[in-house]
Amino acid sequence: MSYELAGYIYEPVNTLLEVPTGIRRIRRELIEKAKGRILELGVGTGLNLPLYRGDSEVVGVDLSERMLEKAGNKKSRARVKLLKADARSLPFPDGSFDTVVSTFFLCVVHEKRRVLGEVRRVLKTDGVFLAMECSPPKNRLFRVFLTVLSKLTSKLTGTDFRTDFTELLRENGFGVLEERSLVNGTVEVIVAKPS
């Protein structure tokens, strides 16, 4: 399935998965931590835009014009600017943002280390990175199931449940301040800072 076509089903599928599992509530809590000038990677259809605080400025980037068009229709208390851009080569100067947000974006990107290098570059030295990503579950049987499923989903949608994002962040120059596992470990919520 192409990323452009995913724009049609992204929000209904997310609602079906997030509301009963409590992920939607945790998403809201995570976004409430974003402050100042905020960069949202893979803003998609703008699911997070209504959740940002009114005193913030959000720059949302995505590769899909279709997704950006849908995001442009979302209401937000924050000042929002949407931009077609590649997270592997962000068009912003060093130290441009107080907060960078990624919700289920890194788990669909193939060049995760390159994106994290860009996140470190555009974050202010005292900036914070907020992430909610798919991860390997704690339950061994469920982990085997999702490893097999990831072989299919990574080809169809890019989603991969095999990355330990806490470890990946540490390996790429971030200090992890908070981490929380949801849904038997299949989702990790992480607050990190450049170290």
- CA 74 – CA 79 distance, rounded (Å): 12
pLDDT at residue 77, rounded to an integer: 96
CATH assignment at residue 180? 3.40.50.150
Nearest CA to 67 among 151, 14, 3?
A: 3
Residue 112 is assigned to a structural domain of this protein: yes
The boundaries of the domain holding residue 103 are: 3-134+163-194
Residue 65 is assigned to a structural domain of this protein: yes
pLDDT digits (tens, 9 = 90+) for 174-184: 999 999 988 77
Dihedral class, residue 158 (left if φ above 0, else alpha if ψ from -120 to 50, else beta): left
- CA 148 – CA 70 distance, rounded (Å): 32
pLDDT digits (tens, 9 = 90+) for 71-119: 999 999 999 999 999 999 999 999 999 999 999 899 888 899 999 999 9
Q: Confidence class of residue 8 from pLDDT cuts 50, 70 and 90?
A: low
The tokens for 28 are: 């809201």
Tally of domains within the chain = 1
pLDDT at residue 1, rounded to an integer: 42
